[in-house]
């Protein structure tokens, strides 16, 4: 079963993705984590993507789809994957659909973690003090929110048209939101 998690930066996709991954016994794959790790290890991918990520812009669709292809080829991904923040543009949505189809699969559901901008800014502010992520500084956060609104929000409509989108109000306790996500996947 392949499930995609979407939502603005700071919506809690990572936390909920980890819970879902555990509950379903499926690997979670987050392009953000993978890219940050590549930057830290100074791999060719990391060196190429560093400046883009730290400014809060989106990495190119080609790079992202290359990463998705690699992840889907892993044996542990054979039964499905929890995609966390992987699809952020329409070409990426189309590309992921194609890569899944090559394996006789399709996206089963898209969970959209919905939070207000105010809440997001408060959360990212808090996270900046804890995690020290280079892209949580105020200028990069503003760029990420803009990229989200301009490039990623239209992807929600793309999935809505395919009847895959399930909206999860993402304010509340971690357990409350996890329960909403579980219910959303029941039908
Ligand atoms: P957030 O969702 O909070 O912005 P992530 O950790 O998911 O944070 O992603 C961090 C950065 O990694 C993004 O700002 C972007 O530069 C890059 N990135 C991650 N996933 C993608 C994607 N699917 N397409 C393009 N860029 C991506």
DSSP string, 157-186: HHHHHTT-EEEEE--S-HHHHHHHHHHHTT
Q: Of 104, 55, 99, whose CA–CA distance to 79 is shortest?
A: 104
Tokens 């992987």 belong to which residue? 86
Using the atom order of ligand 1, give the atom closest to the CA of residue 7. Answer: 2
136 lines ligand 1 (CB under 6 A): no
Q: Of 77, 55, 80, whose CA–CA distance to 144 is shortest?
A: 55
89-115: pLDDT as tens digits: 999 999 999 999 999 999 999 999 999
6-35: pLDDT as tens digits: 999 889 999 999 999 999 999 999 999 999
- Ligand 1 center from residue 8 Cα (angstroms): 10
- Strand-pairing partners, residue 84, are 5, 30
Q: What domains are defined for the chain? A: 2-179 (3.40.50.300)
As a whole number of angstroms, the distance between CA 164 and CA 161 comes to 8
Question: What is the pLDDT of the chain when averaged over all its residues?
Answer: 94
Active site residues: 13, 88, 127, 133, 144
pLDDT class for 49, splitting at 50, 70, 90? very high
- State yes or no: pLDDT of 186 exceeds 80: yes
Structure tokens at 70: 């690699």
50-71: pLDDT as tens digits: 999 999 999 999 999 999 999 9
Tokens 């060196």 belong to which residue? 47
- Contact assessment for residue 64 and residue 30, using Cβ atoms and an 8 Å cutoff: no
110-145: pLDDT as tens digits: 999 999 888 888 888 888 888 877 788 888 888 999
pLDDT at 124: 84
As a whole number of angstroms, the distance between CA 139 and CA 54 comes to 10
């Amino acid at each position: 079963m392949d499930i995609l998690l979407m939502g603005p930066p700071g919506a809690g996709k990572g936390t909920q993705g980890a819970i879902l991954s555990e509950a379903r016994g499926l690997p979670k794959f987050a392009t953000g984590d993978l890219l940050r790790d590549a930057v830290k290890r100074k791999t060719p991918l990391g060196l190429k993507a560093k400046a883009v990520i730290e400014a809060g812009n989106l990495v190119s669709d080609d790079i992202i789809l290359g990463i998705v292809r690699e992840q889907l080829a892993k044996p542990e991904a054979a039964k499905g994957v929890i995609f966390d923040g992987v699809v952020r543009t329409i070409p990426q949505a189309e590309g992921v659909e194609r890569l899944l189809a090559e394996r006789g699969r399709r996206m089963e559901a898209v969970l959209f973690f919905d939070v207000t901008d105010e809440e997001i800014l408060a959360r990212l502010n808090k996270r900046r003090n804890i995690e020290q992520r280079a892209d949580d500084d105020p200028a990069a956060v503003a760029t990420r929110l803009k990229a989200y609104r301009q490039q990623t929000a239209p992807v929600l409509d793309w999935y809505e048209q395919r009847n895959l989108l399930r909206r999860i109000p993402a304010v509340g306790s971690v357990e409350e939101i996890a329960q909403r996500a579980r219910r959303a996947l029941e039908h």
